[in-house]
Structure formats: C-alpha cells, structure tokens
Amino acid sequence: MKNSVEQILEGCRKGDSDARRDLYELLAARMFGVIKRYVKDSATAEDLLHDGFVTLYTKIGDYRGEGAFEGWCRKIFVNTALGYLRKNSPVLTEDYSDMPRSMAQVPANVVETMSAEDIMACIAKLPSGYGTILNLYAVEGYSHAEIAEMLNISENTSRSQYSRAKVKLSEMMNEYFDNEEFRG
C-alpha cells in the first residue's frame, strides 16, 4: 500500500477503486477477526466482512476525523455482525437451561499458562448468545443498556447472559487446564 490513510479516505470518498482496494487491504484481516468473535462460521463471517465493506464504502463520507478511524470502522463491522445475529436471534433461541448459574473459580495459573489463541478458542466455543454479549461488554466496551438496545433484549437479560458467559468460560478454562486435549 503506497498511500496514507488520509489519501485512501479521500480516494474512497471520490469512489476510487484503487483506494477502496487499499482500504480493504488495510482493514480486512482485523475486521474479519472482529466479525469472527460474533459469528463462528467462517463462510458467514466472510460474507459479513464483504457486507461491512459495502457499508463502509457507502458511509465513508460520514467519517469526520473525530476519534480513531479504525474504531469508527470497527463499529460498522460490529453492527454488521449484530444485524446478522438479530435476524437469527441467538440470544433468544438457544437453550441455556443446562448452563451453570453460580460463578466457578479459575486459578490464576490457568489463565497465565494459556496463550491468547487458547483463550480465544475457549471464547469461540461459548454458545453464540453468550459470546456475543461477552464480546460486546468485555471487549467492545458497550454497557448493558446499549447491548439491550442493540439486541432488542432487556438489560437484565444482557447482565444475566454476561454472568453466565463468565461462568461457562471459567469452566472451560478449568477444563483446558485439566485436559490438554481440549484444544481442537
């Protein structure tokens, strides 16, 4: 990529296909990672990545330079993934009846021995409703009120699902520590 971010943005605003390609090359890998935190299926995530870029190219003129450009883009891709999830209602359709309701304890050495990839693998194995809320709250920094509005659920449901996600994640990390074959 030979252009600065500002040059790429200006080119995208003018509809320049080379600038769009440069922007795609700049952001695609990171935004795919964002989408994969919400959607487990790689083919669906790829489709959503392309949908997100269509939205990004369409709305690029709305970016006014306030705040980090990548953060602005991340919101577009998170919203693209959430739009997909809302249509499929994972928070409302999954059966959570067998999930634990009390907090399990994870020894500090469990997390210390796990790589970032192993921790992300545990998160990826959460039911999608749990994973969605965990990502929105703990990773993206949204409040439970914002999550409730985005997913069309109650704030208490968001809090409950987040709490249960932490319990399930804790159990998975303990299982990882007890069983090296967990990976995979």
Query: pLDDT tens track of the chain, all 184 residues?
Result: 557 888 999 999 999 999 999 999 999 999 999 999 888 889 999 999 999 999 999 999 999 888 899 999 999 999 999 999 888 755 544 444 444 444 445 555 556 667 777 777 888 888 888 888 988 998 888 999 999 988 888 999 999 999 998 888 888 887 776 765 444 4
Question: Which domain CATH number covers 146?
Answer: 1.10.10.10
Out of 47, 67, 88, a domain closes at 88
Same domain, 72 and 95: no
What is the per-residue pLDDT for 13? 93
> How far is the C-alpha of 145 from the C-alpha of 133, rounded, in Å?
12
Q: For residues 120 and 102, state if they share a domain.
A: yes
173 in the same domain as 101: yes
Q: Are residues 15 and 47 located together in one domain of the fold?
A: yes
CA atoms within 13 A on the CB side of 184: 3
The predicted structure's pLDDT at residue 180: 55
* 131 shares its domain with 75: no
- pLDDT for 93 equals 46
Count other Cβ atoms within 10 Å, centred on residue 126: 21
Q: Are residues 83 and 95 in the same domain?
A: no
Asked if 76 and 59 touch (Cβ cutoff 8 Å), the reply is yes
148 and 108 within one domain: yes
Task: Give the pLDDT score at 179.
Answer: 67
CATH number at residue 65: 1.10.1740.10
Residue 151 is part of which domain span?
A: 91-182
Q: Do 138 and 119 belong to one domain?
A: yes
- Percent helix, strand and coil across the chain, each to the nearest 5: 75, 0, 25
Q: Are residues 111 and 160 in the same domain?
A: yes
- For the entire predicted model, the pTM comes to 0.70
Same domain, 114 and 174: yes
Q: Could you give the C-alpha distances from 97 to 38, 58, 76, 139, in angstroms and in order?
A: 21, 42, 33, 25
Domain total of the chain? 2
The dihedral built from the CA positions of residue 62, 64, 70 and 75, taken in this order, carries a sign that is negative
